[in-house]
Structure 1
Amino acid sequence: MLTTTLVYNNSKELIFISNVKNISTSVSDDIIITNLTGFITNTDVNLWYKAFEQSCQEFIKKGKKYKLLVNRKGYTPEHFTVQKLWKEKFFSAAILDNTIAAAFLMEEGDILNHLIQSNTKDNVIFSSNYDQIFEWISNYK
């Protein structure tokens, strides 16, 4: 869905946000690829989570663990509560306890740099390069 939205930034300037919303989830072998990109609302997070959780539960029911490739590149939350809701849903014990490894695709910038520098887990990677994280998650054992 193509969306164009007018919002105010932190400087109270009216700005346009125009991008393609993607709240899809797919499976490739043992990798769950989930996308939450574009201008995202709380409703979008809830819709995204239904498909994402269902994909995870298919592995869990079979007693299998999975790898996660999480695409958040181009993610623009409508409000701070959107990010809070995403964190509550994504970082649930049921999801993470069955995760072998996680790769996060994000926009370049301060947040990505901070996550890269502060990451202490061998089974987690943060990057703005899709090819890099796809290769890493595909080869992770």
Structure 2
Amino acid sequence: MECFARAYRAEQERLFIQKNQDYDQLSIELKALESKIDNLVEMIANGNMSLAISKALAACEETQLVLQEKIRNIPVTPKPITLSPDLHDIYMSRLNDLQKTLSHEGIRSIAAEVIQKLISRVEVTPRDSGAKGADLKVIGNIEQAIYLSQDP
């Protein structure tokens, strides 16, 4: 859990910064382009109409639409969720609670349900030639692990 929490925080921060940089860069480009469009329109308004100015204005307006669409398609990026610094301790406490729950006869079906939620899948791989048995790899459902590790 500690390793997961460190990796999660680092990746969420990286994604947050990257998405904001993309948005900021596109906004800067759009602002510069809008300034260029304003200048071209001003030239036309002052009687400096030419085919080159008209083509330049049309090209700028096309690019403006593309940039506006890109900005609209950047998903809203909320600040990353802050994981509790003692996530590992909370998780281990919940895991110990689960072990206690498993020891009670009447509650085993409830505990089995919780365990099923924590397991995304189980991979079974035959061992290398000559060795008996198979290796099992349990892939956890991290979303449920975080949910279960939160304080009630």
For normalisation by structure 1, the TM-score amounts to 0.24
Q: Counting strand residues as a fraction of each chain, which structure ranks higher?
A: 1
Larger relative contact order (CA 8 Å, sep ≥ 6)? 2
Q: Counting helix residues as a fraction of each chain, which structure ranks higher?
A: 2
For normalisation by structure 2, the TM-score amounts to 0.23
